[in-house]
Amino acid sequence: MAIPFPLVAQALAGLLLLMAGGQLVVRGGAALARRLGVSALVIGLVIVGFGTSAPELVTGVRAALAGAPALAFGNAIGASLANLLLVLPLAALLRPFAIGRSAIRNDAVAVILAAAGLAALSFAPVPARPGGIALVLLLAGWLAIGFTREAGELAPDEAALQEREAQLVAGRQQGAPVLILMLGGGLIALVTGADRVVDAATGVARAAGIGEDVLGLTLLSFGTCLPELATAVIAVRRRQIDIVVGNVLGSCLFNLLAVAGTVQAIADAGPAGLARTLDLPALVLAAMLVAGLLLGRQRLDRASALLLMAAYGGWLLLRLLS
C-alpha cells in the first residue's frame, strides 16, 4: 500500500523540529548553566546528557501515552545502536582519536550494565512498571554518585574532557534573556515535533503494514540521534574529537535508563518480540565491542570505525529481513 505523502511530510517536519529543539535545549541550557557558575561536571552529566536525549525522551513519552510503546522502545534502542555503531565511527573516520581509559571507563561499563539490565528486565516474569521505575532510579543514583565527586577528585583526563565538552556545547556567551528564549523555544519545538512524529509514524505503520518498532529502530532513531551527530561534527572541526565519546556514551545511558525506563513505567510494558530477542542482545554486544576497543587499545582508528559500521549494517540487514 502506498504511503500518503502528507504523512511523510509530517514525519520530516517533526524530525526537523526535534533536531532544532534538541540543539536549542543543549546549547541554551549549557550556556545558561555556565553563566550561573555551574561546574563542567554537572553540565556534562546532566545538561548535555538530558539535552541530547531530549528528542528520544519527549518522543518516547508521547508514544507511550498514545499507546505505541513499541515505537518508543525501538527509538531508544535504535538511537543507542546508531550512536555506538554509526555516530562514533563516523567521527573516527573524519579524524582518528585516542582517549584516556579513566575518562570513559565508568561510562562505558555503565552503558553495558544498563543495556544488560534492560534486556534482563524484558525477560523477567514480573510486572513491567516497577522495572521501569527502577531504571529511572538507577539513573538518578548514577547522577548522584557523579555529583559527589568534586572536579578535583576526577582523573586529569576525565576532568579535562568534562571541561572541553562544557565549553563546546555552551558556545559564545550570550545574555540570560536570549538563553531563556532558546530553552523555551527548544522545549516547544521538542513537544510539537514529538506530536508530529508519533502521529505520522503510527499512520505510516498502518498504511505500509510494517511494525512500529521497525520505524522506531530506523527512521525515528536516525532522526533523534542527529543532535549527537551534530555535536560530533563540531567536535571534529575543533579537533576535540574525544568529546564525542563522552557524548555518545552519556546519551546511550540516558536512552536506556531515562527513556526506556520512563516509557516502561508509563505503558506498564517492556520491550517485546524481536526488540527483546534480537535488538537488546545486539545492543549489549555493541556496547561491549565499543568498550573493548576504547579501553583496550585506547584508540579508535579508521579500521576500527569500519568494523563498527559493518556491525551496524549487519544488524540492520538482519533486523529488516527478520
pLDDT in tens, 194-228: 778 777 777 777 777 777 788 788 877 877 777 77
pLDDT in tens, 264-274: 999 999 999 99
Cell numbers 576526577 label which residue?
154
Judging by DSSP bridges, how do beta strands 299-300 and 97-98 pair with one another? antiparallel
Cα atoms in the 13 Å half-sphere on the side-chain side of 141? 9
Cα atoms in the 13 Å half-sphere on the side-chain side of 57? 20
Which pTM was predicted? 0.81
| Third-level CATH fold of 5-321 | A middle domain of Talin 1 (1.20.1420)
Cell of 130: 516497577
CA angle, 49 then 86 then 288, to 5°:
75
| Among 88, 99, 96, 137, CA closest to 117 | 137
| Domain locations along the chain | 5-321
* Integer Cα distance of 193 and 302 in angstroms: 35
So what's the pLDDT on residue 219?
75
Cell numbers 526488540 label which residue?
275
So what's the pLDDT on residue 5?
74
* Integer Cα distance of 280 and 118 in angstroms: 8
Q: Which residues of the chain have pLDDT under 50?
A: 150-151
At residue 176, what is the residue type? A
So what's the pLDDT on residue 306?
93
* Integer Cα distance of 251 and 44 in angstroms: 11
* Integer Cα distance of 211 and 194 in angstroms: 19
Are the beta carbons of 259 and 118 closer than 8 angstroms? Answer: no
Nearest 5°: phi and psi at 98? -125, 155
Cell of 208: 505500509
DSSP annotation of 142: H
Alpha helices in 209-279 (DSSP H): 212-215, 221-224, 226-237, 243-254, 260-267, 274
